[in-house]
Amino acid sequence: MRKNLLITGASSGLGEGMAREFAKRGCNLALCARRTDQLDALKAELENRYPQIRVCVRPLDVCDHEQVFEVFRAFRDDLGGLDRVIVNAGIGKGAPIGTGNFDANRQTAETNFVAALAQCEAAMEIFRQQNSGHLVAISSVSAVRGFRGAMSVYAASKAGLANLAEGIRMDVMNTPIKVSTLFPGYILTDINREVRNAPFRVDLETGCRALVAAIEKEPAEAFVPGWPWTPLGFLLKRLPVGMVARLS
């Protein structure tokens, strides 16, 4: 069993939801995010509900790359090792390219890819030293194709993360270190709450339960929830670009 878990972006959304699900399973948790008040409240809740587990929290802005390494190493020392790191922190800002919103698009790209790279580097440094561990990259169904409008940079950044995770997986093939990439469909969070075209969207608890179940299986890749996103992901990769444009 992977006992000691680190989750980034754990103060809300998928990170918070996964923390609750893993706590139910008796895991010790290392939780980080920018909003420490929400982390402190989550820590108190989980330790009160599950007194057998340990919950450590630290503030972290994943775009502060040096701090990423410092926080990951500190969590390793807190818990005596890390068995799984879930690279979850991300944002969904964005606008069509060329419409004067470069700053928002840049921030999305830097947070979802460059900051994710820093998290992968910090996690893999620890796993290589331990010769064990499970790296989990939370990508998106949108990563399988280019998307239009406000989704363009978000989809591209999540595709970059998926390809990065696949490369890392190749590096550690046939070793005790495992790498998984998850492609969530629409799970209700603040990122997509105002999205009107969100087919098959599920509530946060349902989505996070499916994410944790998938993570525990340690697949190379998985669409979550499996139905209907596994067949839809297969189709999305093969649809003509004009049809994808109408859908996105």
pLDDT digit string, tens, across residues 111-139: 999 999 999 999 999 999 999 999 999 99
Which of 180, 176, 64 has its CA nearest to residue 129? 176
Residue 141: DSSP 8-state:
G
Average pLDDT over residues 163-179: 98
Across the chain, mean pLDDT equals 94
pLDDT at 248 over 70: no
Q: Is the CATH code 2.40.50.140 the one for domain 4-247?
A: no
pLDDT digit string, tens, across residues 201-213: 899 999 999 999 9
Residue-level pLDDT at 70: 98
pLDDT digit string, tens, across residues 89-106: 999 889 999 999 999 999
Residue-level pLDDT at 243: 76
pLDDT digit string, tens, across residues 8-30: 999 999 999 999 999 999 999 99
pLDDT at 33 over 70: yes
The pair of structure tokens assigned to 83 is 């068995």
Residue-level pLDDT at 240: 86
The strand order across the sheet containing 28-33 reads 55-59, 28-33, 4-8, 84-87, 133-138, 177-184, 221-224
Residue-level pLDDT at 71: 98
Residues 6+ apart with CB under 8 A from 37: none
Residue-level pLDDT at 242: 79
Q: By the 8 A CB rule, do 140 and 112 touch?
A: no
CA distance linking residue 8 with residue 73, whole number of Å: 14
Residue-level pLDDT at 190: 67
Give catalytic residue positions.
154
